[in-house]
Amino acid sequence: MEPVVIKHKRTTLERAEKFISEHHFTDINLRSRLYPKKAELASISHFEADGRIPVEEALAGKYTETKIGQSFGPTWSTHWFCLDIVVPDEWVGQEVCLLWNSNSEALVWKDNSPIQGLSGEHKRHSFPLANGPIWKNQCRQKIHIEMACNGLFGAGDNGMIERPDPNRYFTLAQAEIAIFDRRVYDLILDVEMLHDMAKHLPESTERGYQALYTVNRLINTCKVDDPSTYQKAHAIAEEFFKQGNGASQHTLHAMGHAHIDTAWLWPYAETIRKCARSWSCTLQLMEQYPDFTFTCSQAQQFEWVKQHYPVMYDKIQSFVQRGRFIPVGGTWIEMDGNLPSGESFIRQFLYGQLFFQKEFGKTCSEFWLPDTFGYSAQLPQIMNICNIKRFLTQKLSWSLVNKFPHHTFWWQGLDGSKVLTHFPPGDSYEMKGHVKEVLFTLSNYQDKGRSGHSMYLFGYGDGGNGPSEDMIQRLHRIEDTDGLPRVKMSTPDEYFSTVEKNDGDKLCKWTGELYLELHNGTYTTQAQVKELNRRCEILLHDVELLSSLALAAAPSEGFNYPAEELLRLWKLVLLNQFHDVLPGSSIELVYKDSMSHYKDILKSGRALWNTAFNNLTASQSDICPLVVNTLSWERSDVVIVPANEEETQENSQSPSKRLKLDSDLLQVDVYSNSLAIVLVPSCGYTSLLPQECQFPVTIAKQGDLYELENQYLTAVINSSGHLLQLSMPGTNRNAMSDGDHGNQFVLYDDVPLYWDAWDVMDYHLETRKPLKEVIESVKVNDLGPIRVSLEFSLKISVSYLKQTITLDAIAPYLKC
Ligand SMILES: [Zn+2]
């Protein structure tokens, strides 16, 4: 009899879906045969650890029997399990795995080494007990599992992006061994990919229907209960996938990736373990799949793994040498792209590249920053200076209003420096190898016809985890199959070299900042972190300058340049510039760590500052007291003079002779409010030789108005602190428009659409509420001739603000 083939897309699609479903017909469908036999573990015992302890300590713990169904917690606690595994003799020669689901993140340890991460999410529940089929001598095994009481996204409700619930408990839902039937696994992926092609390829081509009838034929051929039919069914799929593309087809350069936020919904200490869990999975896949490549950024994370997991680190080094585990980015961490100073950006590259050079014998050739909330226009120049000519990111795809017009382009900085820039057109660093994503990658690509290549980063991310075997298998099936872009396992260097060679002159250019139209609230959230970051950047800069001056001035006095301590402190500053820490988008726990880091930097940095300054002062007794200018241009500025300057003129060692330019943020002892104007060379010092104040600054009161005036400016301020007039003396031009005024404090609502710590929205501008209630009206603090200043305070809800406005005799600006 002729076989009947039903011509009905809807039922055929659903037939394929149910054939491999995890939710329907799971007793009789193909997926039900994936683990044909299961058995209990010989025993499971448990030990509650005192925090994140080293493995040696954990192995020596006191373990007691436990069982499936028990819950473990609370949030952030650590539980170790010892599993006795006895594989039945009749399973020898088959692939056997441990199935473990503690609904949390976990790490498998064997012989004191981390072997593979597991996670409640994304169904990473399976750990193979042997490479390939199990042998008789492998049938008895002891395995340890380190369970972390958090999920991939911390411990918010239901795995959501939320603050952690401090009292979450995680239930051990599964702990057993099973035979894994790889033939079934292959067929499941065949059916999935054929189904997805049938579903997502456009009606205008025949290819989707070819996939539809192929999957239908496969299911008709595959008798679930008869494994002898599996090979024939698989061959039907293979035949289909082998039908290749024409020569002009777009090529996706696929590479594994695991975006691990260095801190976000979890603290730094958990990130160290996330690296181990994620990268152990990656290493395991590398051994299994010889073409699989993996890109990995952030020197800090490599350094953590080197310290905490040396055996694993050795393996990483070996795969780096083989060009498969690929360090990228060249920076210490993936920092925020706007808030760090230029000096910090340079340090990110300097310390990152030094690490990669020392550990792997080569530096990175591309900057890698997929997830920051905007990109300073300085970056191309800084990259070029650091010998980096290529750049990968994708975050602008999140812009709320305008779609960025390019995916592959030249990005040009302020000084004309250019970098070849690529946004993977899938608009994500978390692809999974699905047909839908691959098609979107091509349809979304903004540079079609200019460059026939793009990057495709696959692997679970943000909380780490990385590529899975499913993803690699999916991509292998569509390496070159008609109807889909070509896919090849590649490397960033291969991708960028190809574009440079073939397409460089066809690409568009974008000049200036890459501005993200979202997450604009990250410039104010957690303001204290921003302030401390800047204070620390300035402090460490000044310590280096003072130490250099001290060294140059008195090399024979035995001053030791504090190189090692400065490196330690800089690395702490750089760490806290991570793209979820400095922007303020992390959980509170992270900021406890940050505050303790900043306290350390400020305390240690000030000690270094004092030592350097005292050494410099001692070497310059003839010109003491010193005034130091730590900035790189000559400055005429106002300094505060110590009260006891006259009396201590003879004693050049006295620390009370420290002076500072008052615009430095560094806190030093101040003994008096007497002021002087000095002229100091760039990055240099001079003795305190006050300059004559030729043009005094004045303040006058008329009614309730205060008029401040120096040689450059006239400012009129009312008793509420409002600026009514700002003009140049001798002109009638007021920078304030008629009837309006400056220096107003205004409140706006802050209720965004979703990301409450990240976003301020356009509609907030419609909710303007000026602060009107004056607590203390203006009072004058300084009367001239070098400085005039006044202050006032305003009520804000239950709090208040106090503002000081200063005009110096030599400054062409008001300081508020
Ligand atoms: Zn991120």
- Residue 350 pLDDT: 98
Spatial separation of the C-alpha atoms in residues 170 and 159, rounded to whole Å: 12
- Token pair of 451 as six digits: 């460059």
259: left (phi over 0), alpha (psi -120 to 50) or beta: beta
**How far does the centroid of ligand 1 lie from the alpha carbon of residue 161, in Å?**
13
- Residue 658 pLDDT: 42
Listed as own residue / partner, the contacts of 686-695 with beta carbons closer than 8 Å and 24 or more positions apart are 686/623, 686/626, 686/627, 687/623, 687/624, 687/625, 687/626, 687/627, 688/625, 688/626, 688/627, 688/639, 688/641, 688/645, 688/659, 690/641, 691/636, 693/785, 693/786, 693/809, 695/809, 695/810
Query: Is 70 exceeded by the pLDDT of residue 241?
Result: yes
Spatial separation of the C-alpha atoms in residues 509 and 684, rounded to whole Å: 41
Residue 487 binned pLDDT confidence (cut-offs 50, 70, 90) = very high
Q: Of all helices (H) and strands (E), which one includes residue 360?
A: helix 342-360
**How far does the centroid of ligand 1 lie from the alpha carbon of residue 148, in Å?**
21
Q: What is the pLDDT of residues 390-408, one digit of tens each?
A: 999 999 999 999 999 999 9
Question: What is the CB neighbour count within 10 angstroms for residue 271?
Answer: 23
The answer to whether residues 174 and 98 touch, using CB atoms and an 8 Å cutoff, is no
Sign of CA dihedral 52, 58, 62, 63: positive
Output b/e per residue, 537-555; b: 16+ Cβ within 10 A: bbbbbbbbbbbebbbebee
**How far does the centroid of ligand 1 lie from the alpha carbon of residue 580, in Å?**
7
- Token pair of 256 as six digits: 């594994």
- Residue 757 pLDDT: 86
**How far does the centroid of ligand 1 lie from the alpha carbon of residue 165, in Å?**
21
Query: Is 50 exceeded by the pLDDT of residue 652?
Result: no
- Residue 644 pLDDT: 59
Strand partners, 792: 803
* Between residues 649 and 276, the one the model is more confident about: 276
**How far does the centroid of ligand 1 lie from the alpha carbon of residue 395, in Å?**
10
**How far does the centroid of ligand 1 lie from the alpha carbon of residue 259, in Å?**
7
* Residue-wise DSSP of 634-675: -EEEEEEEPTTTTTTTT-TT-GGG---BTTS---------EE
Q: What is the mean pLDDT of residues 256-268?
A: 98
Q: What is the pLDDT of residues 672-695, one digit of tens each?
A: 358 999 999 999 999 888 888 899
Q: What is the mean pLDDT of residues 68-95?
A: 98
| pLDDT cut 70: percent of the chain above it | 95
Q: 785: cis peptide before it, omega within 30°?
A: yes
The answer to whether residues 474 and 431 touch, using CB atoms and an 8 Å cutoff, is no
Residue 656 binned pLDDT confidence (cut-offs 50, 70, 90) = very low
**How far does the centroid of ligand 1 lie from the alpha carbon of residue 756, in Å?**
17
**How far does the centroid of ligand 1 lie from the alpha carbon of residue 648, in Å?**
55
- Residue 689 pLDDT: 82
Output b/e per residue, 273-295; b: 16+ Cβ within 10 A: bbbbbbbbbbbbbbeebeebbbb
**How far does the centroid of ligand 1 lie from the alpha carbon of residue 461, in Å?**
8
Q: What is the mean pLDDT of residues 9-21?
A: 97
HEC secondary structure over 145-165: EEEECCECCECCHHHCCCCCC
Spatial separation of the C-alpha atoms in residues 631 and 629, rounded to whole Å: 6
* Between residues 324 and 162, the one the model is more confident about: 324
- Residue 2 pLDDT: 65
Query: Is 60 exceeded by the pLDDT of residue 662?
Result: no
Spatial separation of the C-alpha atoms in residues 294 and 312, rounded to whole Å: 15
**How far does the centroid of ligand 1 lie from the alpha carbon of residue 433, in Å?**
21
Per annotation, catalytic residue among 371, 580, 637, 782: 371
Q: 625: cis peptide before it, omega within 30°?
A: yes
Spatial separation of the C-alpha atoms in residues 407 and 455, rounded to whole Å: 10
Query: Is 60 exceeded by the pLDDT of residue 714?
Result: yes
**How far does the centroid of ligand 1 lie from the alpha carbon of residue 651, in Å?**
54
Q: What is the mean pLDDT of residues 89-116?
A: 97
**How far does the centroid of ligand 1 lie from the alpha carbon of residue 329, in Å?**
14
Mean pLDDT of all residues belonging to the chain:
93
**How far does the centroid of ligand 1 lie from the alpha carbon of residue 332, in Å?**
14
User: First CA to last CA across the chain, in angstroms?
Assistant: 92
**How far does the centroid of ligand 1 lie from the alpha carbon of residue 416, in Å?**
29
Q: What is the pLDDT of residues 601-632, one digit of tens each?
A: 999 999 999 999 999 988 887 776 789 999 99
The answer to whether residues 58 and 51 touch, using CB atoms and an 8 Å cutoff, is no
User: Is 371 part of the annotated catalytic residue set?
Assistant: yes
Q: What is the mean pLDDT of residues 123-148?
A: 97
Query: Is 70 exceeded by the pLDDT of residue 664?
Result: no
**How far does the centroid of ligand 1 lie from the alpha carbon of residue 99, in Å?**
30
* Three-class SS state of 421: strand
- Residue 688 pLDDT: 84
- Token pair of 219 as six digits: 């299911």
Query: Is 50 exceeded by the pLDDT of residue 219?
Result: yes
Least Cα distance to 333 among 300, 361, 292 occurs for: 300
The answer to whether residues 521 and 753 touch, using CB atoms and an 8 Å cutoff, is no
Least Cα distance to 411 among 403, 402, 401, 419 occurs for: 419
Query: Is 90 exceeded by the pLDDT of residue 716?
Result: yes
The residue with tokens 């072997």 is 115
| Alpha carbon separation from 505 to 367, 387, 628 (Å, rounded) | 21, 21, 50
Total residue length of the chain: 816
The mean-pLDDT minimum among 26-30, 126-130, 579-583, 655-659 falls in 655-659
Strands 294-296 and 105-110: what pairing? unpaired
**How far does the centroid of ligand 1 lie from the alpha carbon of residue 370, in Å?**
7
Instruction: Indicate the DSSP class of residue 137.
Output: G
- Residue 647 pLDDT: 46
- Residue 439 pLDDT: 98
Question: What is the CB neighbour count within 10 angstroms for residue 221?
Answer: 15
Q: What is the pLDDT of residues 753-786, one digit of tens each?
A: 988 889 999 999 999 999 999 999 999 999 989 9
- Residue 703 pLDDT: 92
- Token pair of 485 as six digits: 């872009």
The residue with tokens 């003129």 is 649
**How far does the centroid of ligand 1 lie from the alpha carbon of residue 120, in Å?**
21
